[in-house]
Structure 1
Amino acid sequence: MKIAILGTRGVPNYYGGFEQFAEFFSVYLAEKGHEVYCYNSHDHPFQEKTFHGVNIIHKYDPEYKYGTFGQFIYDYNCIMDSRKRNFDIILQLGYTSNSIWFFLLPKQPIIITNMDGLEWKRSKYSWPVQQFLKVAEWLAAVSSDYLVADSLGIQSFLKKTYKKESTYIAYGAHPFNSPDTTVLNEYHVEQGNYNMIMARFEPENNLDMVLEGVSLCEDKTPILVIGKHNTKYGEYLKNKFKYFPHIRFMGGIYNLEHLNSLRYFSNIYFHGHSVGGTNPSLLEAMASQALIAAHNNDFNRGVLKENAFYFSNPAEVKNLLESVNKNDNTHKIKNNYEAIEKDFNWEKINGDYLQLFEECFSRHKTANTK
């Protein structure tokens, strides 16, 4: 099959979850003998024409000049290019800025869209932007040939809201079992004697709720707050909790081996995300054998089930800090790790996507020969 991947800043991954998936999946497809093309921003750090057998198409992306609006121009450029290439399948990762151009997509290829999370629920967006995202979601849902949901909650939402079936394929993570104790010295923490939370500094990730619970607790065990905090919301949080030195704002940490070791040796790993599907950082925490305390919502429960603690307010965070010890909950850690090996490993995820592609392609060919 001749396959294109749209909707990311490109591969290899220098940005986030969809880019990481695009990298793993595109290389997997190429290794299986398919002709694969991935669209990259023109200013992507990787400027070669191929990446491990994947063809790279660079297209002008003015996001650096216009901010978010630039993504619409980039997606337009990618879609217009796709009209010239006779693809069998186009995989769209997300819908935020490409769905408005749905009428420009080539008619011949099968359009498969991963519907991402419920973007319009994110509180960082103004009301008009949230309304636009609702329309964009609807356009993607009704114009795509097939939909992919990366959580059962998203799958249920698509069925209920748009009467559209979707294929549930989760996200993936690599099992981690080689922690490095020397990493602890670099971050000035001791094994089992610190907690952590990692997230983008956005209100719906509930950093404020977790840190409020930390501030209420008499215990002064350090908590590492990992994520880029040079934002308006980040400045707000740093100012609010500036009198609590055990709340340590670490900034972004992009060394995956360091992150995995920090998660592995932490006492409690807090996961505050409340919007979206299967969150990549949650799976990585499970794969790193962290003891997880997660915000109490259907998305997190759908992944973690009974193998985590849950919180809905600062008081519950405080209670967890005062009562939970990692050494007493090895069964939860083991169950999550086994779930990664069985259900959320990249080989399975890639295989599930390829199986969907093959089924769609076969169905399409049969329909066209009748």
Structure 2
Amino acid sequence: MPSVAILGSRGYPSYYGGFETLVRRLAPYLADHGWDVTVLGRARSTRLDDPERDPRIHSVRTRGVESRSASTLSYGLTGALWARAAHPDVALVLNVANGYFLPLLSRAGIPTVVNVDGIEWERAKWGRAARAVFQGGAALTARYATTLVNDSEEIARYWARRYGTTGAYIPYGGTDPGRLPVPDGLATGTYVLMVARFVPENTVGEFLAAAESLVARAPVVIVGSSGYGGPLDEQARQLAAAHEHIHWYGHVADDPLLHALWQHAGVCFHGHSVGGTNPALVQAMACGAAIVARDTVYNREVLGAAGRFTQPGPAAIAEAITSLLREPDARRHLSAAARARAAERFTWEGVCHQYNQVLEDALAIKAPAGAAVEPR
């Protein structure tokens, strides 16, 4: 039985973000297809008592520093050291910040499949030093990774231009949850929804400003938080306290509730601006949300004609959402188009099948024990 170690997520099972959703779907799939699967993670972020946890998956918690600036690198290092000692047949590495540790794995003869994610150094939350760290990790990833995975075609083109790389295109998947009950206190098709981590590049501040005017037209539901507290969390708290029809749920780890919120929304706003295929957008499509998205090349690639697009200013966001709320036929059309596009292009079965194939291919170039995998 071949073995794979998955590094760079918060662990299994975890509900923090896109990488964690991928791991929750992929790890059991790989176990079904004959892999011995170990997921490296963080004690504070995993739920080992989760009833949905697959007992075949080995969850290993390593140590690290729990802070916004140091957590990724510190847990990346301890995860890589564990993998180097355990010597799995192949490692699936998530996030280019872990590029600094790829030489350790390469010299141990462990081939690596690296999901490069988005363009992390363009995120507004990072200062100059952090951006330089991510750029350094990306350069090392381009050199030392055995195989790259790009989650969007535009990201693949970016890496080809900047680093001269090629890689597999594997997006994220979504699941049609079937018909779900309307969440308590809401009415189907009447409210505006935003689901996002509270960071500037997700257009959260602009949406919160737009919510002040939107609430006069429809209830507003906000899902997300920064995870560390801060001004955006405080702004959302104050809005919910001041307006009866603005509801802030914070971070939601309950998938059925989150899917129901997408499914029954009148309009869903998606403001992510940095990176490729966003997992939350794909899942919103699978739930049949009528979507207004920030106009970026990545969101256009994912949505195609199954969404509307807006500039990121509060007035533009409010106008685009209000306009779609007034068009019930258009919302029904966009809902059906989004669901159909997700079923055609973004399914977890297809995504996991592709990862399985890429990992199997990496086994074919595994170096003998003690010999380094040839870097790029």
TM-score, length-normalised on structure 1? 0.88
1:202 is aligned to: 199
Distance 2:336 2:49 in 1: 41
Give how far 1:242 is off.
7.1
How does 1:286-325 map onto structure 2 within 5 Å?
A: 286-312=285-311, 313-325=313-325
Give how far 1:238 is off.
5.0
Distance 2:365 2:129 in 1: 39
- 1:217/1:233 Cα in 2 relative to 1: closer, same or farther (>3 Å)? closer
Q: Contact 1:219/1:322 (CA < 8 Å) preserved in 2?
A: no
Q: Contact 2:192/2:267 (CA < 8 Å) preserved in 1?
A: yes
- 1:328/1:8 Cα in 2 relative to 1: closer, same or farther (>3 Å)? same
Equivalent pairs, count: 359
Secondary structure at the aligned position of 1:275 is classed as coil
- 1:217/1:305 Cα in 2 relative to 1: closer, same or farther (>3 Å)? same
Q: 1:362 aligns with which of 350, 361, 364?
A: 364
2:259 is aligned to: 260
Unaligned runs of 5+ in 2: none
Secondary structure at the aligned position of 2:179 is classed as coil
Q: Which shifted more, 292-301 or 337-346?
A: 337-346
How does 1:155-174 map onto structure 2 within 5 Å?
A: 155-174=156-175
Q: Which shifted more, 35-44 or 20-29?
A: 35-44
Identity %: 27
Q: Contact 1:208/1:237 (CA < 8 Å) preserved in 2?
A: no
2:337 is aligned to: 335
Distance 1:251 1:237 in 2: 9
Give how far 1:117 is off.
0.8
Q: Contact 1:8/1:39 (CA < 8 Å) preserved in 2?
A: yes
Letter of the structure 2 residue corresponding to residue 324 of structure 1: L
Letter of the structure 2 residue corresponding to residue 33 of structure 1: G
Give how far 1:93 is off.
0.9
Letter of the structure 2 residue corresponding to residue 60 of structure 1: R
How does 1:14-163 map onto structure 2 within 5 Å?
A: 14-43=15-44, 44-46=46-48, 51-63=54-66, 68-96=69-97, 98-107=98-107, 108-163=109-164
2:10 is aligned to: 9
Distance 1:53 1:242 in 2: 45
- 1:226/1:60 Cα in 2 relative to 1: closer, same or farther (>3 Å)? same
Distance 2:349 2:314 in 1: 38
- 1:237/1:84 Cα in 2 relative to 1: closer, same or farther (>3 Å)? closer
- 1:251/1:47 Cα in 2 relative to 1: closer, same or farther (>3 Å)? closer
2:179 is aligned to: 178
Give how far 1:72 is off.
2.5
Whether 2:287 is the aligned partner of 1:284: answer no
Letter of the structure 2 residue corresponding to residue 57 of structure 1: V
Give how far 1:67 is off.
5.2
Distance 1:258 1:227 in 2: 13
Distance 2:143 2:259 in 1: 39
Q: Contact 2:6/2:38 (CA < 8 Å) preserved in 1?
A: yes
Unaligned runs of 5+ in 1: none
- 1:51/1:190 Cα in 2 relative to 1: closer, same or farther (>3 Å)? closer
Q: 2:354 aligns with which of 339, 352, 355?
A: 352
TM-score, length-normalised on structure 2? 0.87
Distance 1:203 1:286 in 2: 23
- 1:243/1:31 Cα in 2 relative to 1: closer, same or farther (>3 Å)? closer
Q: Contact 2:239/2:246 (CA < 8 Å) preserved in 1?
A: no
